[in-house]
Amino acid sequence: MFIRLPRKLFLFYVSVFYLIGIPVHAENNTAPTGSFKSKACMECHKKNNPLLIKDWRSSAHANTQPITDCVACHGKLHQAAASSSRRDSTCIRCHGGKKDPVVHSYTTSKHGVLMQLEKRSYDWNQPLADANYRAPGCSYCHMHKAGHNVSAGIRDDLMDKAAEKKVREQTRIACLDCHAPRYITRLFENGERMLEIGRKKVREARSLIEQSSVTFSDDELAPARAQLVKMQQHLTNVYLGVAHQSPDYQWWHGHPALDGDLLRIKGFIGELYRIKK
């Protein structure tokens, strides 16, 4: 049975369907196919999810040179946008490659090793939450539940003990998908203790150099200062070891390296005093 409706009233039907919520034009919630530039991605997605765009704008990615925009992670092709962005390779190629401490501290962690072994068997169409993946990759932790502000969970100042408090809750959320809260609390407490010991070593070296600057010239103290710069990187290694749960970074590239730096700085300065005498 087919009822013929007067065509003249087409616009009327359309408005009624709109009012009662039957989709007449599906464009607003059906994903398009084809290639787009970042400007188009933002304009369209701003309508459905303004928070996502706002979060991205608040992140360091909106201020990198060149800019880390939608296409940098998702590619131009809409059909593959989500699954491709979730893979570690998306992040690693920009974050210094496999040898960069940021990446290497992750690949030497248990998570990184599991990921390497299992990534081919994962279904990358699954959202990054609810333990959809057995081991977390870069985006599982840093873009958990599609949070586009990667800076929200990163502290600004490594030397500032209080800075960790600002990011702690944000950082924990992802861990709790897979680990018990008590385990994570204990782990973070130990991590902060380890970092604080690292900071003490850096502070000691700094004050030694400062005290000696009354007696010695900038030229004489240059080797000690150069070693202090290395110390900052080694403190970052401790931080990355704690952040990415890599024992190699906490121990091998972190604390023993800091101890070596401090010994050398003491050696340089001791030698200056000896020569002066």
- For 275, other C-beta atoms within 10 Å of its C-beta total 9
243 binds ligand HEC (CB under 6 A): yes
For residue 76 the two structure tokens come to 């131009």
Rg (CA), the chain: 26
Residues 105-144: x where in contact with ligand HEC by CB under 6 A, - otherwise, as a string: -x---xx--x------------xxx-x-xxxxxxxxxxx-
State the minimum distance, in angstroms, from the CB of residue 15 to ligand HEC: 22
42 binds ligand HEC (CB under 6 A): yes
Residues 67 and 37: their CA atoms lie apart, in Å, by 13
Give the one residue of 124, 154, 199, 230 binding ligand HEC; rule: CB under 6 A: 154
Nearer to ligand HEC, 167 or 208 (CB): 167
167 binds ligand HEC (CB under 6 A): yes
Give the one residue of 88, 195, 253, 257 binding ligand HEC; rule: CB under 6 A: 88
Give the one residue of 227, 236, 246, 250 binding ligand HEC; rule: CB under 6 A: 236
**Part in contact with ligand HEC (CB under 6 A); list of ranges 11-19, 103-111, 219-227, 248-256:** 103-111
Question: Omega before 66 cis (within 30°)?
Answer: yes
Residues 172 and 166: their CA atoms lie apart, in Å, by 12
246 binds ligand HEC (CB under 6 A): no
Residues 239 and 195: their CA atoms lie apart, in Å, by 6
Give the one residue of 13, 44, 119, 213 binding ligand HEC; rule: CB under 6 A: 44
For residue 154 the two structure tokens come to 């990163």
Q: Sign of the C-alpha dihedral, residues 51, 55, 56, 62?
A: positive
